[in-house]
Amino acid sequence: MLKKRIVVCLDVKDGRTTKGVKFKDNIDIGDPVEMAAEYYRQGVDELVFYDIMASTRGRGPILELISRVASQVFIPFCVGGGIGTLDDIRSSILAGAEKISLNSQAVKNPELIRQGARVFGNQCIVLGMDAAADAAMPSGYRIYINGGRTATGLDALDWAQQAVSLGAGEIVLNSIDADGTKAGYEINLTRMISEAVEVPVIASGGGGTPEHLVRVLTDGKADAALIASMVHSGEYTVAGIKSALSASGVPVR
């Protein structure tokens, strides 16, 4: 079995790390540069940095902040939020990002996935998916954009498969229903997408205990688990989570 990855997410708003529940009621929780450095010290495998207001406000990535975070970490670093052109992708990579997450902009312009993968390689292009349960959709889940504020007509399963066919090399799959609740990942959604695509799937939304990670990495068949609230609160450390996963038989780095 391949070793599983632990990924810490920093949602950033107005230059500060923020956290909410189900994409609402966000509060300021710290400086993203300092937090990135701390999680690197704790042994996190990768970092994801999302500018959660960029698409809504119609602006591009904050390159200066990306550069400052990248200077503190020497692990894969993925950046998302407001990246809508090849120039945005290029400038973010030059600022220090190894991967680029396309979410709202990919829905609005799917060709950006193909272009990005062709120019920078599939390994650089990550599909960010925000999905919520919806019985009206064939898979039972609907895609949302603009930080979870705008419903689309896209079915989650169809969109995942389409994005991978266009060249996405990885998927960060976030359950809006579970986001920030610390009540556990959306296992059904994660397993469905993981089984349907041939690229790594990172489960996101709902991680609250090491047991939640064990379940999504085994029953949910995720390749990695994204965490935020459980370490931002100080209740757990990355090293402690990895020890718990290892003790449960889940191979970690």
Which phi and psi angles does 248 have, rounded to 5°? Answer: -90, 5
- The helix-helix angle for 63-70 and 32-42 (nearest 10°) equals 30
Of 168, 49, 164, 154, the residue nearest 108 (C-alpha): 154
Verify whether residue 14 is a known catalytic residue: no
Query: Catalytic residue among 11, 45, 51, 88, which?
Result: 11
Residues 6+ apart with CB under 8 A from 234: none
Which phi and psi angles does 45 have, rounded to 5°? Answer: -80, -40
Of 30, 4, 33, 8, the residue nearest 204 (C-alpha): 8
Render the burial of 106-129: b for 16+ CB within 10 Å, e for the rest. bbeebebbbbbbeebebebbbbbb
d(C-alpha 132, C-alpha 178), whole Å: 9
Q: Any bridge partners for residue 47, and if so which?
A: 8, 77
Verify whether residue 51 is a known catalytic residue: no
Task: Determine contact, residues 103/130, Cβ cutoff 8 Å.
Answer: yes
Three-state SS string across 87-102, please? Answer: HHHHHHHHHCCCEEEE
Query: Catalytic residue among 45, 51, 130, 179, which?
Result: 130
Q: Any bridge partners for residue 10, and if so which?
A: 49
Residues designated as active site: 11, 130
